[in-house]
Structure formats: C-alpha cells, structure tokens
Amino acid sequence: MTQSVLPLPDLEALRRAADPLADDVIARLMDAWDDDQPEAAHCKHECNFDILSVVTRQMEQWKTNGQLAQWRASGVDPKVAAELEAYVAAGLPLPAWADTAKIERAEALFVDFGMLSCTLLFCSSLPECYVIPDLAAVLHVAGQLEQRTEYRIRSTAAMIFPVMMVGGLTRPDGGGLAQVLKVRLIHATIRHLILRGNPERVRQLDYVPPLPSDGKGNLHHELFTLGWNIAEDGVPCSQDELAYTLLTFGYVFLRSLRKLGLALPKDDEEAYLHAWNVMGHVLGMETTLMAHTMAEAETLFTALQKRGRAQTYEPDPRPALGNALMRTMQNVIPLQVLKPFPVLLTRHLCGKTTARNIGIDHRVPFISRWLFIALMLVARSIDFTVRLVFKQFSMCRMITRVVGYQFTCKVLMDQTRPLKLPETLLNQMTAMTCDWHQDPKAPAWVNKLEQRLTGRKPGPVEGAQA
C-alpha cells in the first residue's frame, strides 16, 4: 500500500474529540445540567426539547451563503438569537488556506460526471459510510434508515449537492455553507442528546446508561434514552467519524472512478480532495484529519476503517442499513434481471469485506452475475481500444450514467417529493440535473444509446421541475 507523506494523527484521542464551537452553543441553549450523573437530568431535559424545535425553525431561514452573512435571528428570545448569530459568524468564513481555483475545479468535475456522481453516491460512498458499527448505530437511531431509507438518502444529497454545485462554497448565491452549518449544529445536537450533556463535560465518563423509552418514537427522546459506551466507541459524531465520512464522499468517489477506468489526473484528484477539506473545515473537522493527496487519503481511510471494523455493536445495525439501501436502488430498476446490479456494482467498488460488513454478500442469480461481469469486461475492453483514437470515450461512463439516471430521477429528483432545500437552491439543482441527461464528452450515438437504455425522451430530466 502507498504510504502517506504525513504521519497519522492520534486517532484514539480523536475518538473522544467533538466540536467545541457547535457543542457549546447547543449546551448553552439546552441549559446543561450541573449534576455529576447525566442520567439525573432526564426530567429536566424533557422540558428543554422544545428549544431544539426553535433552533430548527431558525435554521430553516439559512438559505444562501450571501443571505447567511447578513442573517439575524427573529422572533426568539434574545439569548437564543445571540447564540445562533455568534455561531453563524464564527462558522461561516472559509479558512485562509482555501484555494478558490481548486474548489471551482472540483465543482466542475462533479457537474461533469453528472449521473455517474449519483451512482457512486449510492454504490460506494454510502455503503462505506455504514461500515463503522457505532457510526451506523447513530445513523440507525437518528435516521430510522430501514423505515425511511429514501428520506435519509435524500437528506444526504441535500447537503452534498449544494456544496458541490457551482459556487456552493464560494459564491453569495451558493448554498453549501448554509447547508453545512445546519448539519454541524445537528451533529452537536445528536452528541448532546446521546451523552446527555456537553461532550467536553462528560468525555471523562466511560458509559452513559440507557433509559426507558416512552415508545412514542420521538427522535429526541430516542437519542436521549439510547445510552452510549464512550470507553469503546468514543463520543458520537466524533472527529475521526467526521473525517471518515468525508473521505467516503471525497476519497472513495475518486477511488471508484479509478476502479471504473475513469481515473482523473493527479491535480484534479487533489482539487477534489481540497474542496472536501474546505467543507470539512466548515463542518468543524480538525486540520490534522485532512488528506491532501490520494496516498494520504488511502492511508487515513484504511486506518480509520480497520479500527472501526474492530469495534462491536450489538445488535449490529449495518446489515439492515446496507440491505435497505440496496432495496431502494432495486425498486427503481425496471428489469428483474438487472435488479441485482446495485449489489454487484457495490461489491465491485467497495470490495468483499465491506459487502460482508453491510450484509450484501449473499448469492445473486447466476444470469445477473454473469451479465454484470460480461458487461464490465466488454465495456473496459471497448474503452481501452477506442481510447487509442478518442481519448475521452468511455462505455463504463455511459453504463454507470444509465444506472445513475434511475437513482437521480426516481429517488433524488422526484417532483412529488422534492428535496428539502430552499427554493433557490432546488431550482439550481434542477437546472443542473436537467443538463446531465446529455453527456458532453460522449459522441451523439452514445447519447442516443443511453436514451434508449434509460427509456427517456430527449429533453429535461424526467420529473424535473420547470
């Protein structure tokens, strides 16, 4: 394995490291208790859950980067307003090392890959997210992913797309910063509820015992009563988990392109990693966890995943998450023989160990498996031959775009269930995805073949808003 130029940070210490800026805001808003035992605050904090609804309503006002720079809270207690305004002011600026040219290049790459970007989100980034048991446990409780799979997937897209759209991190009309600051505060809320206090105050504890659930399925109450083994799992949404998650959206995306024979030039890969590092800064990630090259990213990702796999969490939430994700993809594929393709593509991109971890290592019909292997081999062979003359030609790109079309149109951009984004950003995303149905790097005959395989007619993306 290629070694990183930089030494690995102290990953063990980072398991108990959280995000002081966002954690302190939530703690002050929740009026953190003074008791030595967090569970003693149960009754008191049941009354304070209402403040979280107030915060959510204020965050709904955070729409674009430019608007957020001038944002002032309204209709709330002055102390609440002061806390939220101070948080936005502290979290909004980009770091001094942010390189606008690299960010713009990363945005262009994301848009250029279009439908393929969605395929890799579904078949590589999200599956790798579920590998770490305690991270999967938080996703399981916080998102009820098995019952609300599409909701959670769409929520993830509602963060990724605003960040990676043109100007998402750098322009006033972009919305990436606004969306990331929302997610950062949500992470702090999850930590506070699970640990029943500010992580800085309870980090010396080894265990937060579970409490009786009211059985009503209230998310805040479920998180508050969950219980948590800090000694084994660190704090929820810790720094190392944050780094791992962002690597699945940056490094794993680039690694998957390599596995599909679509590897980017070194400068482009590093520009893409840089954009996600900038996003990580806004999300509260420490700079010691930022990888700047593919070699560094590979080393860090491998170390984080190896240690995460060594953890145990009972009952194991990962197979339920993995299979729910696969079912969501299979439901939008029309032909029965092709329905196993998401499982097969995920195995190809993520490997056997990840497939086993998330419970998708079961047998699939022989005809589907044979067809998938034959399709990949033929596509790679055609690509190798034709690229001797046409450098940008790729059948693999076309095939994965066909898969991505199904996911984009029928899961992410279904007009009957629009993504939960401000109207301005939703319109921008709709316009961007409407352009994706034509691949500018493919010859006309490949685009026509893609249209036939997807069953769409020339024109805007099916289901897109006008």
Confidence (pLDDT) at 179: 93
Q: How far apart are CA 343 and CA 329, in angstroms?
A: 9
DSSP states of 311-375: ---SS--HHHHHHHHHHHHHTT--SGGGTTHHHHHHHHHH-HHHHHHTT--S---HHHHHHHHHH
Confidence (pLDDT) at 154: 77
Q: What is the pTM of this model?
A: 0.88
- Per the CB < 8 A criterion, the answer to whether 411 and 158 are in contact is no
The CA–CA distances, whole Å, from 412 to 88, 222, 428 equal: 28, 27, 14
- Per the CB < 8 A criterion, the answer to whether 27 and 197 are in contact is yes
**Closest C-alpha to 110, from 164, 47, 51, 188:** 164
Q: What are phi and psi of 402, to 5 degrees?
A: -60, -45
Low-confidence stretches of the chain (pLDDT beneath 70): 1-6, 31-47, 139-148, 203, 215-217, 415-418, 456-466
Sequence-separated (6 or more) residues with CB below 8 Å from residue 294: 2, 251, 254, 255, 266, 269, 270, 273
Confidence (pLDDT) at 413: 73
- The token pair at 229 is 């083994």
Confidence (pLDDT) at 123: 93
pLDDT in tens, 259-317: 998 899 999 999 999 999 999 999 999 999 999 999 999 999 999 999 888 877 778 88
- The token pair at 461 is 């993306």
Confidence (pLDDT) at 387: 77
Domain ranges of the chain: 11-309, 336-454
**What does the buried/exposed string (b/e) look like for 160-186 if buried means 16 or more CB atoms within 10 Å of the residue's CB?**
bbbbbbebbbbbeebbbbbbbbbbbbb
Confidence (pLDDT) at 37: 43
- Per the CB < 8 A criterion, the answer to whether 159 and 183 are in contact is yes
Residue 395: CA atoms inside 13 Å, Cβ hemisphere, count?
14
